[in-house]
Amino acid sequence: MIHTCWERWRQGHRTISYPEGPMPELPARFRGRPVIERGDPDEAGGPGPEVCPTGAIEIGRDACAIDLGRCLFCGACETTKGPWRIRFTNDPRLAGRRRGDLRAEPGLEARLAEELDARWKRLFGRSLKLRQVSAGGCNACEADANVLTTIGWDLGRFGIQFVASPRHADGLFITGPVTENMRLALRKAWEAVPAPKIVIASGACAISGGPYAGHPETHDGCGRFVPVDLYLPGCPPHPLTVLDGLLRLLGRLEGRDPNPG
């Protein structure tokens, strides 16, 4: 026991200070919110809509946009030449309250997630219990959400916990494109959560179907079965994206906006 205590003392405080402190610095290879800039209209090269595996890019001579709800952040569209130039920043703040907010366009300011209204904040602002439903996911979104429960992130310090039963939950945290085999299970889980309740769609699959969109055995995300209150783009969403979105939803970032720059 003494060796365990000594090791804990030697390691010191391991939980990140965010959001009281600065946002953790992410590695250079991390792809966060994309930026679209106007290039040379007559320059050859640059991305076309066919380069995107999920059809997230809308591009033409006079307009370009990326649907972050479909984007896999694979970087295939990133370019420094052509009529439109796309680059991915290190900004992990991607969460949105509405599906239409998940959009990147030239000159369009990011629409970050808004907090719940006053009544819902009184209910969930200090204690939010979520039942995670893997609706046919590959386990990447689930794994990165699980990271938040470790000592390095300690999601419980904000009163947010994952629980084992929907009957003990305030809402659902959904991952995966909703396969036909999970359609009924998802609906039953939603019905088992006591009202009032919220839904969080985590990852491109849960938002739009991701790479499985249009497949006959999937349903292109959870939005057609349950009302979604928070969208977390990514493939998978970084734990910081998830945490930032949850804290914004609960109004826990009031008075400070830890912008990564």
Examine residue 106 and say whether the peptide bond preceding it is cis (omega within 30 degrees of 0): no
Which of 22-26, 34-38, 238-242 is predicted with the least confidence, judged by mean pLDDT?
Answer: 22-26
Domains with residue ranges and CATH for the chain: 34-104 (no CATH), 118-249 (3.40.50.12280)
| Amino acid occupying residue 130 | L
pLDDT tens readout for residues 92-108: 999 999 999 999 999 88
Taking a C-beta distance cutoff of 8 angstroms, is the pair 89, 121 a contact? no
**Residue 197: per-residue pLDDT:** 97
pLDDT tens readout for residues 163-209: 999 999 999 999 999 999 999 999 999 999 999 999 999 999 999 99
Task: State the DSSP H helix or E strand holding residue 103, giving kind and residue range, or none if neither.
Answer: strand 103-104
Taking a C-beta distance cutoff of 8 angstroms, is the pair 220, 177 a contact? yes
CA 170/CA 77 separation, integer angstroms = 38
CA 179/CA 202 separation, integer angstroms = 15
pLDDT tens readout for residues 154-166: 999 999 999 999 9
**Residue 259: per-residue pLDDT:** 58
| Amino acid occupying residue 243 | L
